[in-house]
Amino acid sequence: MNIFEELKERGLVFQTTDEEALVKSLTEGPVSYYTGYDPTADSLHLGHLVAILTSRRLQLAGHKPYALVGGATGLIGDPSFKDAERSLQTKDTVDGWVDKIQGQLSHFLDFESGNNKAEMVNNYDWFGSVSFIDFLRDVGKYFTVNYMMSKESVKKRIETGISYTEFAYQIMQGYDFYELNQKHNVTLQIGGSDQWGNMTAGTELLRRKADKTGHVLTVPLITDATGKKFGKSEGNAVWLDADKTSPYEMYQFWLNVMDDDAVRFLKIFTFLSLDEIAAIEKQFDAARHERLAQKILAKEVVTLVHGEEAYRQALNITEQLFAGNIKNLSASELKQGLSNVPNYSVDAEDDLNIVEILVKSGISPSKRQAREDVQNGAIYINGDRMQDLTYTLSDNDKIDQELTVIRRGKKKYFVLTY
């Protein structure tokens, strides 16, 4: 099975400009290719990971990747399938985001060894010095307004309004392809399916300005079985930055994917062979309640993104919380595992009697309810049941002198911080 066939088998090929010609090119020898990432935030997210891992698969097959971070296009904003204009960021902000994204990309691609080692490029290096007049004369003349208006990303915005800034974005991305072709003989661009219009602008410019053929391969925008999309614009982003989405949170995300998605995601997001995945699928289908596919998926992706140690910590947090063994976890681990639960900052003047603090922190709605909760055995302090109405929290209840975990009932956790 060649690399293109494997990509198709994994569900990673959505569109190509000329499949037969692309397969021929990939088969005949090493191809130089690029994927672009605009710095629209200080981190990439799981939506980006599909293209990143596809790029890595091609590198492992002997082809040479260029990772382009859009220091220039990030200042403009891509209109593709956005309902409104992006907010423009300052150059200092974008430059800071460029540095962070470059650091993340270096974790996935091999920039150190081999004839096909990856190279990092920034399109501000060529756009920063070009004059507006030169760009219009040397690039703009190859694009008709009719051609630009035909792009779906533009047509969807015409009714609500699109600025010339965003309208011209496709020309800038097209010029990226031309520039990389001229300097590095890049002949293939990889990106998400929502980028098709911008990406084919590059093949058009190569054809008209340089009389060369370029290829485009888009990967699908990943959705779950309900059609919900990964990505920060959907408000459910799982970030690659551990400070924005902890390894534990990422582990839980994959652990909780629906059964109908689990095997498909193994093909897309892991480097397990297709034979290995087929064997996992067989076991998984025989006992779906054991969630084997999800557990392997969570392990593989967290290890890939954050490393083996982070995976083991995420697994330990999961197991200890499930068992209620709060005291077996450190404060930093608890902050990961309980990051989304209600939090109350204890004031020096607070009465730390169990009934009083339950009400003050909002754990119980009233003193009467708080007393009932304690007496009925519904309150746990750091995993231990507390039924003494006179009990007062002390330093002994502080984990690492930072926090106390209170559970009400079977699953409702609360964190007191000091």
Annotated binding site for ATP: 232
Neighbours of 113 (CB within 10 A): 7
Please check whether residue 86 is in contact with residue 166, taking contact to mean a CB–CB distance below 8 angstroms: yes
Residues annotated within the binding site for L-tyrosine are 34, 169, 173
CA dihedral 195, 197, 198, 201 (to 10 degrees): 150
The span from the CA of 415 to the CA of 36, in Å, is 41
Residue with tokens 């997210």: 45
Helices (H), 246-366: 247-255, 259-269, 274-286, 292-306, 308-323, 331-337, 354-360
Residues annotated within the binding site are 34, 169, 173, 232
Question: What contacts 208, CB < 8 A, 6 or more positions away?
Answer: 142
CA dihedral 53, 54, 56, 62 (to 10 degrees): 170
Helices (H), 70-168: 91-105, 124-127, 132-138, 145-149, 152-158, 164-167
Q: Which strands form 412-417's sheet, in the order they lie side by side?
A: 343-345, 412-417, 403-408, 379-381, 384-385
In single-letter form, the type of residue at position 113 comes to S
In single-letter form, the type of residue at position 188 comes to L
Give the tokens for residue 32. 């130089």
The span from the CA of 408 to the CA of 380, in Å, is 7
Question: What contacts 132, CB < 8 A, 6 or more positions away?
Answer: none
**235 — alpha (psi -120 to 50), left (phi > 0) or beta?**
left
Three-state DSSP class for 418?
A: coil
The span from the CA of 173 to the CA of 152, in Å, is 16
Please check whether residue 136 is in contact with residue 128, taking contact to mean a CB–CB distance below 8 angstroms: no
**Residue ranges with strand state E in 106-230:** 119-122, 186-192, 215-219
